[in-house]
Amino acid sequence: MNIGEVAEITGLPAKTIRYYEDIGLVTPARGDNGYRRFRPADAHKLTFLARARALGFPIEECRDLLALWEDQGRASADVRRIAAHHLAGIERRIADLSAIRDTVHDLVEACRGDARPDCPILTGLAQGQQKAP
């Protein structure tokens, strides 16, 4: 398989696949013309990576997950630890974003949004108005 076909199968842009080779996540063979030749195992790896990335795992955790996936002697505890750590980070980000959303929502609600210049959003930003808890 050439890179275009793998890109279609995995849904990853060819640029991204080249980048993943650059950083050592995959190591496709090369043909006589210099083209990358991807074997099914490479495509499976890339599909795994695409899914892990879509769930927001950072690259280095993807690398670790990939290594565990290929290690038949792994302990599932190691996998779980990585995923649980990621989950905690996601929940923190959601909490942070939710607090921000509430504040911005209140500001937007308070603003009439007409042609006049007085604006609670600007005064809120200037005065540091925060969502009451």
Compute the distance between CA of residue 3 and CA of residue 129 in angstroms, rounded to an integer.
52
Compute, in degrees rounded to 10, the torsion defined by CA atoms 56, 61, 65, 67.
150
Choose the stretch contacting DNA; rule: CB under 7 A; options: 11-19, 68-76, 90-98, 123-131. Answer: 11-19
Which partner in a second copy, DNA, none is near 86 (CB below 5 to 8 A by kind)? a second copy
Is 125 an interacting residue with respect to DNA (CB under 7 A)?
A: no
Judged by CB, which is closer to DNA: 35, or 48?
35
Return the residues of window 82-101 that contact a second copy according to CB under 8 A: 83-84, 86-87, 90-91, 93-94, 97-98, 100-101
Quick check: 35 and 2 in contact, CB under 8 A?
Answer: yes
β partners of residue 36: 30
Q: Which residue has the tokens 């504040």?
A: 103
Is 60 an interacting residue with respect to DNA (CB under 7 A)?
A: yes
